[in-house]
Amino acid sequence: MIKYIRSHVGVKLFLSYIAVIGIASIILLFSTRLALPRAFDRHLGMAQEMQIDGEGMMMDGGQGFREGGRFGVQEGGPKELFQNFKASFNEALIYSGVAALVIALLVSWIFSRNVVAPVRAMMTASHRIADGHYEERVDKERSDELGQLARSFNQMAVKLEQVELMRRQLIGDVSHELRTPLTAIKGSMEGLIDGILPANEETYLQIHQEAGRLGRLVDDLQELSRVEAGAYPMEVRPGDLSPLMETVIKRLSTQFEEKGINLTSNLPADLPRILGDGDRVIQILTNLLGNALSHTPAGGAVTVSAVQQGKFIHISVEDTGVGISQENLLHIFTRFYRVDKSRSRQSGGGSGIGLTVARHLVEAQGGEIWAESGGEGKGSNFSFSIMIA
């Protein structure tokens, strides 16, 4: 029985109401027993005084009503009257107490149901969510604490549903990205076994390139998992932006020259120092310039610039590449997302992870990142902000 009571909130609420009613009844009983004799004597004395004033004489035995300033303690009519009054009062008290108890039980049962019903609904919904039904929601129309709890519960369910959708999408994206190089490697090996492909340096180089693509994809996925989990070192300190930008341009200048793209930088001489992690800023710039390199055709141009805006410095990577439609701009920082679905890693589309990593690194340093474009074929501009030291 005790175990049943402890495991049910409704029973606890119901018994708490009963306990309050019982305590109130006991207090009422004892207080009336203490106050009733004095109240009876007082009212009886007032009645006698009114009768004396009205008739001009005292009733026979009236002096015998009082002893020590109290009425209702002598033998005779007043004492018997007091006993009858006391019995009738107790009888009325019992009847009224029973009626109050029945009504209180009914009201407490209704109130306990009103409290327990939404809790049970949330419990049922939580069980369904645990079974994988993330679309489950509870009623949130109440304005009390239970309504606030229901709204918080629904918010949690929405977050869990989004996480589940992202997990499924990630599995599908990773499977697709891994399948491409694995299929190429498998096809080349089967061609070698069947004698269709010649066993020369060109064939082996092709297999090696596909294995390298597979390794780079695994590295990208590992980097993405660390960034999204926040499991990476971050040393935020004051520093100059100019040497960081020069490092990135020096690293990538050869690739831009081989593709025939003009890479330039525009950095003001009086630019203040930044407050950030220098290594992470280099990684952000590398990812943004790598994206511009992949989506800018030969003969195009890419410009890196920076300008002070209030308490932040805005760093931009502008290209004259393929451009981005307004629809794609909304998802451009989503992992594995590509503007051109037909592009692959082999054709220079990248894994679709670099921009996602850049977004997490920028936000970890208190900045924002965004993309702008005039549309397809009109180039694009990727910018991010970083605080001034």
SS3 content of the chain, % helix, strand, coil (to 5): 60, 10, 25
Q: Quick check: 371 and 381 in contact, CB under 8 A?
A: yes
User: What was the pLDDT predicted at 172?
Assistant: 78
pLDDT of 296 strictly over 80: yes
> In this predicted model, which residue has the larger pLDDT, 167 or 59?
167
Run of H or E residues at 190: helix 145-194
Q: Report residue 72's pLDDT band, with 50, 70 and 90 as the boundaries.
A: very low
User: What was the pLDDT predicted at 181?
Assistant: 82
Q: What is the domain class of 146-229 according to CATH?
A: mainly alpha
User: What was the pLDDT predicted at 304?
Assistant: 93
Span 62-83, average pLDDT: 50
Ranges 127-141, 251-265, 374-388: which has the least confidence: 127-141
> What number of CA atoms fall less than 13 Å from residue 13's CA on the CB side?
16
How far apart CA 101 and CA 15 sit, in angstroms, is 13
Could you report the per-residue pLDDT of 351-379, keeping only the tens digit for each? 567 888 888 889 888 899 999 988 888 88
Total number of residues shown for the chain: 389
Q: Report the DSSP beta bridge partners of residue 262.
A: 301
pLDDT of 76 strictly over 50: no
Return the CATH number of the domain spanning residue range 237-387. Answer: 3.30.565.10
Question: How many CB atoms sit inside 10 A of residue 168's CB?
Answer: 10
Two tokens, residue 29: 């009983």
pLDDT of 83 strictly over 60: yes
Q: Report residue 294's pLDDT band, with 50, 70 and 90 as the boundaries.
A: confident
Domain boundaries, the chain: 2-130, 146-229, 237-387
> What number of CA atoms fall less than 13 Å from residue 156's CA on the CB side?
12
Range with the largest mean pLDDT of 33-37, 55-59, 107-111, 245-249 = 245-249
386 contact partners, CB below 8 Å, separation of at least 6: 274, 275, 276, 281, 312, 313, 315, 362, 365, 366, 367
Q: What is the pTM of this model?
A: 0.57
User: What was the pLDDT predicted at 216?
Assistant: 78
Nearest to 300 by CA among 352, 256, 248, 353: 256
Q: Report the DSSP beta bridge partners of residue 309.
A: 312
Domains 146-229 and 237-387 share a fold: no
Q: Quick check: 380 and 324 in contact, CB under 8 A?
A: yes
pLDDT of 152 strictly over 70: yes
